[in-house]
Amino acid sequence: MEPLPNLAPYTGWVYPNETVFEWSVLIAVYPYLTGLVAGAFTVSSLYQVFGFKTLKPVAHLALLTSLCFMIFVPTPLLLHLGHPERAFNATLTPHWSSAMAMFGYFATAYVVLLMIEMWFAYRPFIVGEAQRRQDLLGRFYRALTLGSYDLSEHAMTYDRKWLFALAIIGIPGAHGLHGYVGFMYGSLKSREWWSSDLMPVIFLFSAIISGVALLVVLYVASCKLRKIRVDVACVKGLAYTIWGFIMIAIALEALEFANIVYKGREGIEVILEYVTGRLLIPYFILQFAIGAILPFLILSYMIWRGTTGQALVVGVTLSACLVLFSVFMMRWNVVIGGQEISKTGKGLLYYQPTFFGKEGLLVGVLLTIAPIILLLGLARLFPPFEDGETSAASPAGAQ
């Protein structure tokens, strides 16, 4: 019989089987990636569906970013499993009452939708390259045309209608994709830190601001690398989007926290011990003060002063980086924080992450960077900017 683990880092009453954290850093990276997917697609839909013309410079970048990150979304889950090849059994022999089983179908359908929407969005570019190039890439683009070289006004109108329809379908698809993650945590009543009806909504709004913030960083960085001028109007539009959604996210987080503390007063003493002790730095300082309140104040000040030009670009980019950090800390505090509270409600546990290994911090960082590397590669095949010779169909509502 194996000896019990050292319980020195733990306080209060905990069960021996709680000394091992089943969900590690990879399970915190997973909802972070899905949030970036949903947020990036939201920006694309704001242009394609609602005709926000100021977001045109990043519309195709948003679509491409959403696809690249979506491709890597299942990777943290597969690495976490002891036998990842068995994951396909949930799809081949599904249990229809399981939300996890349904996610496989949902994610697959969303990837297909993204690929079809990208085909319509890039069809003018694909046709142009297929007719211009005679090398191996020319064959690649000719295969992608699917035999359709028609770029007449009638054909382009048809494409715009499909883009509009796919973007509308993708809005609930992208948001449902990430809202599902919050639903999974909120439905686990055995964990006081997770058991909240607000969890899906909080995950959704934090996903939107993280995706928009990612596009700010990618767009500004790409402009610097390509040595072209940043579209200040576009950055300002993204800043307003972050500013509007971050207010709602902060309010929802505060409401959920107040609800948890109130429940703690009714008998779950460890909740109060947790929020006033160990949670002080990761939750109040890193996630809220630095990652949420500070960028909100920066954006509010710039909007109030009417800041423009380089100062606006720098301020919004800095705020976007802080938001990305805040959302990751939110995922960390939910996934890891929920397991640090004992199921008995009488004790606290301590998570000690490893740097190397299949579920270490290094793998988590690499999984976050991998979609960006894929994005760099796909951007060479499908340039997301007009200066990269991409001529895309305009949104149906734009004039």
Tens digits of per-residue pLDDT, 249-285? 888 888 887 777 776 655 456 666 666 667 778 888 8
Task: Tell me what pLDDT residue 167 has.
Answer: 87
pLDDT (0 to 100) of residue 218? 94
Query: How far apart are alpha carbons 314 and 322 in whole angstroms?
Result: 12
Structure token digits, residue 16: 């021996």
Cβ contact 336:28 at 8 Å: yes
Q: What is the mean pLDDT of residues 67-93?
A: 83
The pTM for the full model equals 0.86
Are 31 and 328 contacting, i.e. CB atoms less than 8 angstroms apart? no
Q: Does residue 361 contact residue 355 with C-beta atoms inside 8 Å?
A: yes
Domains along the sequence of the chain with CATH: 21-388 (1.20.1630.10)
CB 211 within 8 A of CB 43: yes
Cα 61 from Cα 360, distance rounded (Å):
30
> Which pLDDT tens digit goes with each residue over 200-250?
888 888 888 999 999 999 999 999 998 899 999 999 999 999 999 999 988
- Decide if 242 contacts 223 (C-beta within 8 A): no
pLDDT score recorded for residue 344: 66
Residue 71 near residue 108, CB atoms below 8 Å: no
